[in-house]
Structure 1
């Protein structure tokens, strides 16, 4: 058993976890950029995030895109998701938002952002990029589906639906989806690939099925143009 002294419960507050996240992110950044001095993390990441982050933007790829030079954005979201610095940037962004919320006397929001920051800090420590994390999630979900194959088709489809819902959020362009069908076309290949080893598989008019699923997303109103949703009624 480790002899490392555990802080008292009253010491495990907001500032404690904020400091732990910062230290871990700094170490991760130094490991990924050995040519940089440790203090560069504050100027190259935290300072940039503080100055240019738009708190209205959610989704890991969209958050990173805020800080990608315009000439590199043409490489697309898949390229952005493969960045080894991605999780560090996402975690740092949530840390910045947490601190700003705390200073604005919004403790619930501050803790919510800090929870996201700690999650992405853990991903940073693991060394996974966002793209690798997504692929690992797919593999683990498929294993779960294989183990629960006897639980019926709806359970299997529900796993696929939830996977697609998150994919639609993560792949949303900076300017938003132009339509629900735009989102369907963008995730169709991923959906078909995901279902290759699942049971039951997507067959027939899979794009029509996905469109129906996306229409029932809890946050569909904020993701897709309202005019299209009205036409579907």
Structure 2
């Protein structure tokens, strides 16, 4: 019975997170396509992705070629025009995979796909073109994909860390977090709750400090935390 309840909690957690990401992506989709209604995200984009997606493909460049250049398999991401829709497409792809995995009771695969969906959603919301972050994003994605084997699949702390970093991106106020510790304080409750859903209880007195440490490790931290930006060197 306890195992069943745990599976139910995991399933509900995946669904809730997918619903939240879907709302963010839908808003971003409409912002980028003013002539579309919010429902078009699901009826048009998601429908198209389901028709073209190949679940055996994880590499972002290959996925974009699959969706955007179906008749030109030789096309590379570098040859495609810079388009802020790219991260929306990638996030929606992994989001749909997460929902499919959840429906099949494959909760671990669902959370893994959800992590990818959240990562690309963060980039989409930041409004940055994939072409501008290609090297770092692809490298990061490939690293995470490689780590899915073996013990990394059960690394609850890693998943919580990525969730915390993603929430800091999503909730970032105009001008960035000042100071950085404010972001950790703002998201501490939901991060601790997320960890508990995964079966990991964070030490109460260390939650804020741990999150603050994780936020410092974000590859794009300088975009969200002004205090981490490098100051120009003095000419004197």
Q: TM-score, normalised by structure 2?
A: 0.50
The Cα shift of 1:45 comes to 1.1
Deviations 1:33-92, CA, capped at 9 Å, x for gaps: 111122111122111112221010111121111112445666642133722211001000
Query: Does the C-alpha gap of structure 1 residues 74 and 25 become closer, same or farther in structure 2, counting only changes over 3 Å?
Result: same
Residues 1:166 and 2:167 are matched in the alignment: no
3-state SS, counterpart of residue 166 of structure 1: helix
Query: Does the C-alpha gap of structure 1 residues 10 and 111 become closer, same or farther in structure 2, counting only changes over 3 Å?
Result: closer
What does residue 29 of structure 1 align with?
29
3-state SS, counterpart of residue 62 of structure 1: helix
What does residue 47 of structure 1 align with?
47
Q: Is the 8 A contact 2:99 2:110 kept in 1?
A: yes
Query: Does the C-alpha gap of structure 1 residues 10 and 89 become closer, same or farther in structure 2, counting only changes over 3 Å?
Result: closer
Name the CA distance, whole Å, in 2 between partners of 1:24 and 1:34: 15
Q: How does 1:175-190 map to 2 (within 5 A)?
A: none
Of structures 1 and 2, the larger Rg is shown by 1
Residues 1:58 and 2:51 are matched in the alignment: no
CA RMSD of aligned residues (A): 3.2
Aligned residues: 135
Q: Is the 8 A contact 1:97 1:110 kept in 2?
A: yes
Q: Is the 8 A contact 1:25 1:88 kept in 2?
A: yes
What does residue 17 of structure 2 align with?
17
The Cα shift of 1:96 comes to 0.8
Segments of 5+ residues of structure 2 without an aligned counterpart are: 1-8, 144-236
3-state SS, counterpart of residue 68 of structure 2: coil
Segments of 5+ residues of structure 1 without an aligned counterpart are: 1-8, 138-162, 171-233
Q: Is the 8 A contact 2:14 2:102 kept in 1?
A: no
Name the CA distance, whole Å, in 2 between partners of 1:47 and 1:37: 15
Q: Is the 8 A contact 1:21 1:121 kept in 2?
A: yes
What does residue 102 of structure 1 align with?
102
Query: Does the C-alpha gap of structure 1 residues 107 and 11 become closer, same or farther in structure 2, counting only changes over 3 Å?
Result: closer
What does residue 79 of structure 2 align with?
79
Query: Does the C-alpha gap of structure 1 residues 72 and 129 become closer, same or farther in structure 2, counting only changes over 3 Å?
Result: farther
Query: Does the C-alpha gap of structure 1 residues 31 and 79 become closer, same or farther in structure 2, counting only changes over 3 Å?
Result: farther
3-state SS, counterpart of residue 66 of structure 1: helix
Name the CA distance, whole Å, in 2 between partners of 1:10 and 1:49: 25
What does residue 112 of structure 1 align with?
112
The Cα shift of 1:110 comes to 0.4
Q: Is the 8 A contact 2:14 2:99 kept in 1?
A: no
